[in-house]
Each structure stands twice: as structure tokens, then as C-alpha cells.
Structure 1
Amino acid sequence: MTRTSPPEAFVLTGAFRVVCRNPRYLEELAARNLRILLITGEDHRDAAETARKDPDHPAYLIDDIAYVDGSLDQEGSYTPGFVAQARRWRGRYTVRGAYAVGETLVEQTGLLCDALGLPGPGLRATRVCRSKYLQRWYLEEFSPVSLVLPPGGREEADLAALGYPVVVKPATRHSSSGVVAVGDEAALRELLTSYPAHETVLIEQKVTGQEYSVESLVQHGRPVFTSVTRKETTESGAQTFVELAHSVPNAHAEADAALLDANRRMLETLGFRDGIAHAEWRTGDDGRPYLMEVAARTPGDGLVALYHLATGQPLEPQIIRIALGEEASYPAPTRFARQVYLEHGTGPLADVTLDWPGVRPLWVGESGMWPELAPGAKDDPATLRALFVLKEAGARLGPLASSDDRAVTFLIDAPTPQGLDELEQRVRGAVTVTTDPEADGEH
């Protein structure tokens, strides 16, 4: 009797919506006849099970989903459920690769790759990239002065020894959640009372200067593609650091050499082997690049779409190639692309209008699904590709305290930086976001 081999499979991990918002991963794996396995949070169960029954939804391609419990403010809380499920699958499938699409399960995916001998960033990289205070421990050369407050260590901490202003960061959250700047010790002590007692908090001296990110495709420990993205945040008008714009590539390239050199040395220190790294940096007033944080997964927001618009080629196939141990490459940008998040008033979202020929607002709040945006040719005119409304009608809009508070975004690209800047201003003038403060006051 001939014994059949287990079917070959690939494991994706991360929030269900994040995975489905990047359907090309699913399409690439399905085209290779690999069984697609997903590990996601228990809170996504209802949405995922409903979507899997819809032949028109990307989730229809997923062969099996496992749901794990955990909390972002409790380190390692997802690991037991993740390992239990991975062990069950190891007996049923021949797993050929794994990749963390979102932030939540990066460390656990690193454990999976290590246990099965699969290509991945490596245990050090995946552990450190999920912990802001471990990044300061391993990457001190690139870091601002900082202080770690473990659970139970806040009262006796010498906060007077810090140089103010400082930035407070919960150690394991993402999307700028809980990241706040404060100007003195009294304000800091008051802020610390707002974090759960079990949560580790990182405090670091505030670095002023332009913010960037560096995206790196790394294979066999060597970057095969790197690019600098320029960022704008709410920092100038608030104490928060919510990202408001991404520009790919950086049009002010005079800072790129120092950033890329620091980024290369940072990845070497992490022992980063195979995957994509998304590192956020600031160039300080002293001209030195300071690492804000680094992630071992796909960049968030619309950066994947921006790279597609800027280079003409999608990133996802190359990420899958790296995860499967196949040689990867990616072209340099030939256009300039930008994503802009609009600031807005407070109150229930009443309407979003756009006065632009051929483009209308696309409300994606309920599904979280973005359509794929087709890139233009190198010398095509400056173009508005899409405007997305990220919330549902009637959703209450408040101050921008984290990335989840943003409501409206648009994506543009152009052959020159000047054309991109001009187009951004034209689009801003064509968009109206209407809130209803009076309706908000009735509740």
C-alpha cells in the first residue's frame, strides 16, 4: 500500500482584515497549488467564517483558519495557542513557508520558521522587532536615550534624570497606539497612570527632525532592495505621532546615504536573514539617524500599493519568493507616489465628497478591502488613483490619537516630485469631509 505525502502548504499570519486587504499573497500561493493556512486572532472569527463562504471574497482561497487568543499589551500571550495549532498542522501538511503579513504574530511566526527550518528573519529579529524595549537593548547604537519601566517599576523610577521632552511608548503595541510626547516629569507621572499596570512602558528622549522609513527586502542576510520613504505625522500640532503622509521614494535624497548605511548595520546587528523589514527613523538636528522602531513584516497603511505605483511591480510576489527560498529581486522606483490621510473635525461622519473627474470616494470601512490600483507608465501625467473612506457613515470621528482614528485617505503618483506636490494640493482642495457635531451631542 502506497502512503500518500501530506499536501504542501503555506502559513500566513496576522489580522484577518490585513491579510485580505493584501489578496495578492493569497493569489500567489493559490497559483502555486499550495494549501493556504491562516492563523489570526479569535476576535476575527465571525468575519472570517462569513467571508470564506463568499466565492467573490479573497478569503475563499484560504483552506484552513486557526483562531488564537491573546492581547497586544501582554507579551507572549498569543504563543501557547499559536504553537498548539502549528503542531496540529505539522502532522497534516508539509509546510513549505510562512509569513507574517501583520504585526500581531510576527514573533510566533518566527518560532514556526525556526522549528520547521523555513526561511524567515530569524529568532532574534522576530523577537526584537516585536518589542520596543528590546530594540533599545540590542540596537543601542542607533537609539535615543531611553528608560524601560517594567510592570511594578513605575513608582521608584528616577524620572527626574530624563532629558525632557520625552516620548512614552507601550512596549508591544502598534499603529502608534498609546505613543505620546510629554514635556515634564509631572505630566509624565500623570500619563503613566493611564497605562495598564501589567504593561511594560518605554520612555525615550524626544528626537526632533524629519521622519522616514526604510523598506528592505532581505535574502540570505543581504538586502536585495532598499528604499527610503518620507513621512509626515501629527507631531507638529499635537503630542501624538499618527502618520499623515507617506512619499515613495524620498524626493529629498540627500539624507538617504546616511539612513541606508544605518539601516544596513541595524539589520546586520539583528541577524536579519530572510523577509521584509520596515524600519522607522528620524534624522535628528545633529544630522544623525535615530531608530524609532523596526518591524519584520509588510509595511502598513498603503505603502505596498505605493511601491506598486512607484515601480510598476507588486512587492508581494517577491516576499513570497523569499519565504519559499526562491531567488528574489525588485526594481528601483521610476515614479513618485504618495498616500495622504486627511485631518478632520469631530463628531459622526456624515459624508465625504470629491470634486474630481472619473474618481469617486470609495467607502471601504465595513469590508476593509482596497481594490488593486493599476500603476501608470514612467512618464504618465500626475494622477489621483483613489480616495478611500476608512470609516462607515455615522462612525464617530475624534482626535487623531492612533492610526485607527484616521478616516479618509487618497493615493497619487507623478513623474516628478513637483508634480506630486501640486497634485496633492489640488486633491486636498477637492475633498470635503463632513461631520455632524450636533448629532454627536445628542448621545
Structure 2
Amino acid sequence: MICRAPLYLRELSRRGLRILVVTPASWREQALAQMRDPAHPASVIEEIAFTDGDVNTDNSFTAGVISGVRAWRDRYDIAGVYAVGETLVEPTGLLADALGLPSPGLRATRACRSKYLQRWYLPEFSPASVVVPPGARATFTAADVSFPAVVKPASRHSSSGVETVRDPAELRAQLDAYLPHETVLVEEKVAGQEFSVESLVQDGRIVFASVTRKETTESGARTFVELSHSVPNELDGVNEIILDANRRMLERLAFGCGIAHAEWRVDDTGRAYLMEVAARTPGDGLSILYSLATGAPMEPELIRIALGEPAAYPAPRRYARQVYLEHEPGRLGDVTVDWPGISPVWVGEGGLWPEVAPAASDDPPTLRAVLVLKDRGAQLGPLYSSDDRAVTFLIDAPTPAELDELEMRVRHAVRIHTLQPAGARM
């Protein structure tokens, strides 16, 4: 996430602050190499503390985070703390609470890392659901489940493990597929368009909120991998409903200071259902989309909130969209783009994303970038989670109609070339 939005590092460095990063130990080799590269934005990082843990296990990173930051507390005057990714949201809340620094708060950072706690704190916005702890999974029956249903592991992210089941047999097979220690939610499948709301909150007051429209793999598969984000939402009649529900949801969580990324669905009766909410920077390229739509980057305002300084953010005045392209299974051979002045940028997994400058309000419809998220030769398969996506592009335009037309043109201009095993059928 830091490589996806290097403006965080540049803004902190401009202020003369020393940058301390905590990240899972799985990134050790890559992070240290980037710190040693004077041309890489990560070269301004002062220190990195690496912590072991399992993203599928509650609280597994907490002890390592506390251990690393205790050493820093004796040597630095820590001015702010902020979570840029999902994994360390809850430890960030604990650090900020002990240090007396702005943060979403203990309730928000804990509940936002647990889907079943969101159902506990927020019944008004929740679909009908059942919590299945690990010890109860073997004996769980479908007696109180209405089908189709959605099954979710409670602590994962990036849509990992979230699937639709159509009958008791499929439910039993899906429950058996999860790791033995995982708590699982079985819940009503809500029919309706999916949205998200990105909210900047300071001292419990929403200083900015905007609705993003989403498309997922749901219509053609049992999974819910996100395939596009459109900022801001242009569909009539739903923004007021979603923003009102989002405001009340943040109040219930006692959300203090930071950014919330909440995913909602609205059914045909106009009721808003919360799918889940995160207390950290939104994923994918949403920060870039907001910069393109508003003309201003979001990262400096998030830093102001973390430092306790007054923050503000403008309303969108253009329309921006990120699209993830589906692909044929096989090894990734090449990506070609038939578009003047645009070549694909190969960023791989965790690589540095190019900076995309904010658009002027009167810019024509523009393709800003085509990004390849895998390395050449990577095996591409079905889209079971966000990590399985391979190619994405970012566009913006003055109107929704121009944005839609541009998307169709870009889709025809980008080709993903996969290499099939000998004897495989296309």
C-alpha cells in the first residue's frame, strides 16, 4: 500500500518527520531492498519493524507490533500513527490509545477487523446472519439458513474466502474448506447494487464523505471480487440513503479520527445493508481515483488528521473509474495496449505504482494508466480474491456518459496474452 501511494512518504519527509514503518515479516527482503535504493520513495524511511503473524488469525500480529514500537517509544517522540493497510488496523488503535494520539478509537479499530463484531455492534444495518465459531462448525446445521446464502471468514480481507452457497450441501462443503481456527459468518445474501463510502473523520465529525459505485464478479460467479470502482456514484436516488446510513454507522462505532472505507448494498426497497467496514485507507486505486475526481490528493489530509491538524477535502468535480480486466487461465505472457502515449506499467505484486497527476476539471476523457499487477510468467487462474487480478486501468472524464464510452474503448485496446500448457484448449 505504501508503494501504491508514495505521496505518504514524500509528505512526511517534507514535514521533517522521521518515518517509522511496521509491516509483516513477509515483506522483509523487498522492503529492505527498497530502503537501500536511493531512487525509491522508501529510501526516506528511518526504520522498519517486522512482525510475524497470520492474516487469517485474530490478534496474531499484536505482540510483535507492541514489541517493535516499545523500542521506538524510548528513542523517538512519536507524533502520529496511521494504518495504511488492513492487517495492522487493530494494533494501530492500541498504539494510538496508549500514546494519546488521534485514531479511529479502540471500538472502531477492533470491530472493523472482525465481520462478526460488526454484526454485533451494528444490527440495524446487518443482514440476517449466524456466527459459527471454530468449535461449532462440525455440528452446524442449515436449519435457520435461507438460501442462497453468503459464507464469510470473519477476519480475512480482499474478498478472500467469501462465496455464495445455494443449498445445505454447498454450505457444508464451504464450511469444511476454511482453516480449522477460523470463525465464519453465514448470512443472508442481499440483492442489490454494491457501493462503498470513503469518509474522512476528525474528532467524530465527518469532514468529507463520498459514495463509490462498485461492480464485482458476483453476476457471473459465486465470488465477490471487485472489478471496478466509479468515483463518485452517478446513480440517482441512493446517495442520500447510503450517506445517512454511513453517518449513523460511524456514530455507533464511536469513530474518532481517520478514514473509514465502508461497503454497502441497497436493496429494491431502498434499505442500506452494511457488508463490511474498514478503518484504513481504501484499497486498490481508490486514492488515485479521488485525486482524479477532486483535483487534490487525499494523503496529505489523512496525515493532518493523524497529527491532530485541521483537515478538509474538496467535493468531486470529475468522474473517475478503475477497471480490472478478467483473463483467460494460463501463464501471463504479455500485455499490449493500442493507445497513443500509453504503455503498460509492470508493477508486479507490491511494486511501485506510477504517480498519476490530478486532472484539470476541463480535461477531455483520458486514459491515465494501464497497470500489470503480476510478473511475466505468473500463473493466472480464476478470480477467487482480489489478489488474483492481473491487469487494471484508470480513466477519468467530465461526465458519466463520456466515462462509460471511454471504458469501452480502453477495453478493446488492452489485450492480456496468456500462454496455455501444451494440449490445453482455449
TM-score range, shorter chain: over 0.9
User: Deviation of residue 287 (structure 1)?
Assistant: 1.6
What is the aligned counterpart of 1:283 among 244, 261, 266?
266
Report what 1:150 is aligned to.
Answer: 133
Q: How does 1:23-62 map to 2 (within 5 A)?
A: 23-62=6-45
What is the aligned counterpart of 1:130 among 91, 98, 113?
113
Report what 1:88 is aligned to.
Answer: 71
User: Deviation of residue 325 (structure 1)?
Assistant: 0.3
Task: Tell me the distance in 2 between the aligned counterparts of 1:70 and 1:366.
Answer: 20
1:105-153 C-alpha deviation (Å, 9 max, x unpaired): 0000000000000000000000000000000000111000001111111
Q: Contact 1:51–1:59 (CA<8 Å) still a contact in 2?
A: yes
User: Deviation of residue 439 (structure 1)?
Assistant: 5.1
Q: Contact 1:347–1:440 (CA<8 Å) still a contact in 2?
A: no
Task: Tell me the distance in 2 between the aligned counterparts of 1:35 and 1:440.
Answer: 56
Q: Contact 2:212–2:231 (CA<8 Å) still a contact in 1?
A: yes
Q: Secondary structure at the match of 2:170?
A: helix
Q: Secondary structure at the match of 1:98?
A: coil
Task: Tell me the distance in 2 between the aligned counterparts of 1:413 and 1:422.
Answer: 11
Q: Contact 1:381–1:415 (CA<8 Å) still a contact in 2?
A: yes
Q: 1:405 to 1:440 in 2, by over 3 A?
A: farther
Q: How does 1:396-415 map to 2 (within 5 A)?
A: 396-415=379-398
Report what 2:297 is aligned to.
Answer: 314
Q: Contact 1:234–1:244 (CA<8 Å) still a contact in 2?
A: yes
User: Deviation of residue 367 (structure 1)?
Assistant: 5.4
User: Deviation of residue 50 (structure 1)?
Assistant: 1.0
Task: Tell me the distance in 2 between the aligned counterparts of 1:234 and 1:419.
Answer: 24
Task: Tell me the distance in 2 between the aligned counterparts of 1:261 and 1:85.
Answer: 40
Q: How does 1:5-404 map to 2 (within 5 A)?
A: 18-365=1-348, 368-404=351-387
Q: Contact 2:3–2:350 (CA<8 Å) still a contact in 1?
A: no
Q: Secondary structure at the match of 2:238?
A: helix
RMSD: 1.2
1:222-260 C-alpha deviation (Å, 9 max, x unpaired): 100000000000000000000000000001142000000
Task: Tell me the distance in 2 between the aligned counterparts of 1:91 and 1:439.
Answer: 60
Q: 1:25 to 1:439 in 2, by over 3 A?
A: farther
Q: Secondary structure at the match of 1:352?
A: strand
Report what 2:405 is aligned to.
Answer: 422
2:281 aligned partner, one-letter code: T
Task: Tell me the distance in 2 between the aligned counterparts of 1:368 and 1:28.
Answer: 20
User: Deviation of residue 441 (structure 1)?
Assistant: 5.8
Task: Tell me the distance in 2 between the aligned counterparts of 1:351 and 1:131.
Answer: 39
Identify unmatched segments of 5+ residues in structure 2.
none
User: Deviation of residue 440 (structure 1)?
Assistant: 9.1
Identify unmatched segments of 5+ residues in structure 1.
1-17
User: Deviation of residue 212 (structure 1)?
Assistant: 0.1
1:316 aligned partner, one-letter code: E
Q: Contact 1:396–1:440 (CA<8 Å) still a contact in 2?
A: no
Q: 1:360 to 1:68 in 2, by over 3 A?
A: same
Q: Secondary structure at the match of 1:214?
A: strand
Q: Secondary structure at the match of 1:20?
A: coil
Q: Secondary structure at the match of 1:337?
A: strand
Q: 1:376 to 1:439 in 2, by over 3 A?
A: farther
User: Deviation of residue 43 (structure 1)?
Assistant: 0.7
1:184 aligned partner, one-letter code: D
Q: Contact 1:348–1:439 (CA<8 Å) still a contact in 2?
A: no
User: Deviation of residue 408 (structure 1)?
Assistant: 0.5
Q: Secondary structure at the match of 1:96?
A: coil
User: Deviation of residue 366 (structure 1)?
Assistant: 5.4
Q: Secondary structure at the match of 1:119?
A: coil
Q: Secondary structure at the match of 2:94?
A: helix
1:386 aligned partner, one-letter code: A
Q: Contact 2:195–2:214 (CA<8 Å) still a contact in 1?
A: yes
Q: Contact 1:211–1:282 (CA<8 Å) still a contact in 2?
A: yes
Task: Tell me the distance in 1 between the aligned counterparts of 2:217 and 2:423.
Answer: 24
Task: Tell me the distance in 2 between the aligned counterparts of 1:431 and 1:95.
Answer: 46
User: Deviation of residue 166 (structure 1)?
Assistant: 0.8
Task: Tell me the distance in 2 between the aligned counterparts of 1:84 and 1:435.
Answer: 45
- What TM-score, normalized to structure 2? 0.98
Task: Tell me the distance in 2 between the aligned counterparts of 1:23 and 1:344.
Answer: 29
Q: Secondary structure at the match of 1:158?
A: coil
Q: Contact 1:230–1:249 (CA<8 Å) still a contact in 2?
A: yes
Q: Contact 2:297–2:358 (CA<8 Å) still a contact in 1?
A: no
- What TM-score, normalized to structure 1? 0.94
How many equivalent pairs are there? 425
Task: Tell me the distance in 1 between the aligned counterparts of 2:354 and 2:422.
Answer: 32
2:135 aligned partner, one-letter code: G
1:290-311 C-alpha deviation (Å, 9 max, x unpaired): 0000000000000000000000
Q: 1:366 to 1:101 in 2, by over 3 A?
A: closer
User: Deviation of residue 157 (structure 1)?
Assistant: 2.2
Task: Tell me the distance in 2 between the aligned counterparts of 1:366 and 1:159.
Answer: 39
Task: Tell me the distance in 1 between the aligned counterparts of 2:406 and 2:422.
Answer: 34
Task: Tell me the distance in 2 between the aligned counterparts of 1:27 and 1:429.
Answer: 36
